[in-house]
Amino acid sequence: MRSIGAWSWLMPSLLGVLVFFLIPFGVVVYYSVLDNPIFANFVGVDNFMNLFRNTAFLRASRNTGIFSLVAVPLSVVLSLWLAFALNARIPGKSWLRTCFLCPLMVPIASVVLVWQVIFHYHGTLNQVTELFGMEPVDWLKTNWSYMVLTVMFLWKTLGYNMILFMSAIAGIPQDIIEVAELEGAGGWYKFVHIKLRYLSPTILFVTILSIISSFKMFREVYLLTGDYPYESMYLLQHFMNNTFNSLDYQKLSSAAVLLSLVMIVIIGIMFLAERKFGEDVED
């Protein structure tokens, strides 16, 4: 009886998730091993093999991967630093917090004009670097575009991550730190062996969240450069959009399945790493 009660509360959400995500995802998996939806011959991993030979897909995954590898660790480290900085005794904390959180709530589309002016060939950044005698750079149409993306990514994500770290830092038990200090532990020891360990679940979470946000950078790129960006800004979502346009179900579904597997592996590895590193301090 009680159990039936539980299910009736879950029903609306569960039905929706089944209909809009899980069942069609099953279909996606099914499509990914067929030659086409009409004749439906089983072809095993052929679609995946084709994907690995597809230059557009390779470029898109490479660009997205490189970007995430650079931007995500930077975002985690900088936001952790900011959180410690704002936790120290400095004036105007709440004012600073507001400034760092603000980009989270400002629609990307609204500030994209300012970014364009800054990173344009005749724009602000080149005017500044020129003062220091540097050659102008076409930020959006060379490999420097990775840097532009990273700046925009940090701008968007640092505030959110910082808040997560601040609440985690507040949860580190002070008595352990005091005991360590009494026993003569140095600042570095306290940081690595006590604080980081207590923060490790949050570091894990922030990293996963940042990876997901890094997959959303398509928004910025699209708003900044439209459908056809410079090739180092050709991201996975561009590939998906093009594949949607040509309605290549095999490519779409095998790409989606592959990506979901990669995400699950990444998340799994990080969970294991966190469990190992933070094992003594689990509550």
Q: Which of residues 166-205 bind another protein (CB under 8 A)?
A: 167-168, 201-202, 204-205
Q: Tell me the site size for another protein, rule CB under 8 A.
A: 97
Helices 108-119 and 218-225 cross at an angle (nearest 10°) of: 60
Span near another protein by CB under 8 A; candidates 41-49, 172-180, 190-198, 257-265? 257-265
Cα–Cα distance between 193 and 278 in angstroms, integer? 10
Q: Which of 67, 32, 75, 53 is nearest to 203 (CA)?
A: 75
Cα–Cα distance between 232 and 229 in angstroms, integer? 8
Span near another protein by CB under 8 A; candidates 41-49, 173-181, 187-195, 249-257? 249-257
From residue 133 to residue 172, the character string flagging contacts with another protein as x (rule: CB under 8 A) and all else as - is: ----------------------x--xxx--xx--xx----
Cα–Cα distance between 271 and 77 in angstroms, integer? 18
Query: Using the rule CB under 8 A, is 59 a contact of another protein?
Result: no
Is residue 127 within 8 Å of 144, Cβ to Cβ?
no
Is residue 213 within 8 Å of 157, Cβ to Cβ?
yes
Query: Using the rule CB under 8 A, is 242 a contact of another protein?
Result: no
**Nearest-approach distance from CB 66 to another protein, in angstroms:** 16
**Nearest-approach distance from CB 114 to another protein, in angstroms:** 4
- Exactly one of 70, 116, 172, 176 binds another protein (CB under 8 A); that residue is 116
